[in-house]
Each structure stands twice: as structure tokens, then as C-alpha cells.
Amino acid sequence: MSENQKKIWITGASSGIGKAVAKKFASEGWKVAVSARRKELLDELAKDQNITSFPLDVTNRTQISDVFKRILSEFGNLDLCLFSSGTYEPKDEQNIDPDKIKNVMNVNFLGVIDCVKAVEDFFKKKKSGHISIVSSIAGYRGLPNSSGYGPSKAALTNFSESIYFDFKKFGVRVSIVSPGFIKTPLTDKNEFPMPFLKTPEYAAEKIFKGLIKSSSFEIHFPKGLTLTLKFLRILPYKLYLFLVDKFVKR
């Protein structure tokens, strides 16, 4: 492993966006640490000489810390972390189920917080580096049948905005990724039309360019969808709720 080779840690890398981003960074010559619960899928990824598997359950705080120490021991350094673990069960979100909502929050929100906490001291002492968090356009405003997923992503975005200021003092960049509809095992569960549906490879290209060739806080795509939702975000409640309700009834 070259000392000059850039290194990244990606969680949620067993499928979907995380997997595609891992393959993209590896193809660009980066050394990639991939984490997720499904070891067998990570091992498939790790057949690439630039990818190394570090299985992890992000709801286990002790395990997160141990895995991060192993990555540093093997890699010697990290330049970038992309925390993209997530779960989503649309049928479960049509009604309020406190236990299932808590599970979504544990994976999508609290798991990410624990990952950020695990790397905090390393990056602040290093006084450089980049932490990026995969949120979603579902976090922009409340949406139908999203009693757990949407709030978890809204919390992630707010959390990222909050820590941006603290990490900036130490020369560490914080950013968020807000994808639209990307064809993954999670979106395959949706039973409604998904406008501007894109492939994981499309998302990986956008994320790579946003992380490496841009200094923007938010990487969002596809613009045809995200800009529309950004406009809806600034509308007063009365108009926003009317428009969404009318769209849902179509």
C-alpha cells in the first residue's frame, strides 16, 4: 500500500449507493474500507485489491470503535469517511409503530452519530480530513407514509449542519449527500412512481465528484427533482400541505 494512496471508510457498503461508491473510489485508486452487517457481500467487494472488508453493525457502539481502530491499524490513515448506513420499510411506516420507528432511528440516525463520534478525535487531532453523511431528500419536509425514515433523515441533516461549525474550527470538512430516488434494495420496496429514478452508478459518480472536486456542503441529485423539493421546502405550510395532499390523491 502506497503511503500517498488516499483512504476512505464507507459504511452501508454491502449494497446500493454505498457499494457503488466503494467501487467508484477503488477504481480511482483509493484504498477503501467497507463496512456493513452482511459479511458475505463485503467479501465479494473485497475481491478488488483496493477494497478491504470490515463487517460492522452500526447499532453496536463498541463494535464501531473497535472496527475504526482496526482500520487505522491496517490503513495507517484515513482521509475521508462516508457514513451511509440506512434502513427503510415503507409498509411499516403507513402506521405509527414506535418500536419500528426506534429501529429506523437507531440505524439511520444514532448509528451515524456513533460513527462520527468514533472518528471525531482522530480528525480533530489531525486537523484535516472530511466526514460526509448520506441523508436524503426525504428529510427536506414531511412526506406521506414516512413516519420513521423521513424524520431520521431530517435529523441527520440537522445534525450535520450543527457539527459543521465545530469541525471547521479544526480544518475538517463536513458535508451531506441528499440523493433523490436511486434504484436500490430499499427503493425497490416502494409501490409508488419514483420520478427521476437513477442507478447507483449514477449516484456514485455524483458523490465522487461532489466529495473530491467540490467544496459544497450539500451534494444533491438529480437536480430536476431536488431543486423542485427545495422550492417546496420554502413554501408556507398551508400551500405545501395542500400541494402534497393533492399530489398523493392523484
Spell out the alpha helix ranges (H) of 13-148: 16-27, 39-45, 61-75, 98-105, 111-126
Grid cell of 177 as nine digits: 449527500
Radius of gyration of the chain measured on its C-alpha atoms = 18
Instruction: Grade residue 22 by pLDDT with cuts at 50, 70 and 90.
Output: very high
Looking up cell 477494497 gives: 51
Average pLDDT of span 25-46:
97
Sequence-separated (6 or more) residues with CB below 8 Å from residue 205: 24
The residue ranges of every structural domain in the chain are 7-249
Distances (CA, A) of 12 to 26, 134, 142, 156, 182: 16, 10, 24, 15, 15
Instruction: Grade residue 183 by pLDDT with cuts at 50, 70 and 90.
Output: confident
- Does residue 148 register a pLDDT over 60? yes
> pLDDT digits over 200-212, tens only?
999 999 999 999 9
- 221: DSSP letter: E
Helices (runs of H) and strands (runs of E) counted in the chain:
9, 7
- Burial letters 134-151, b for 16+ CB under 10 A, else e: bbbbbbbbebebbbbbbb
Instruction: Grade residue 1 by pLDDT with cuts at 50, 70 and 90.
Output: low
C-alpha torsion 104→109→110→114, nearest 10: 140
Second CATH level (architecture) for the domain 7-249: 3-Layer(aba) Sandwich (3.40)
Average pLDDT of span 127-151:
92
| Rounded-to-5 percentages of helix, strand, coil across the chain | 50, 15, 35
Looking up cell 418500536 gives: 99
Average pLDDT of span 117-138:
97
Rounded CA gap, 181 and 235, in Å?
22
CB 87 within 8 A of CB 102: no
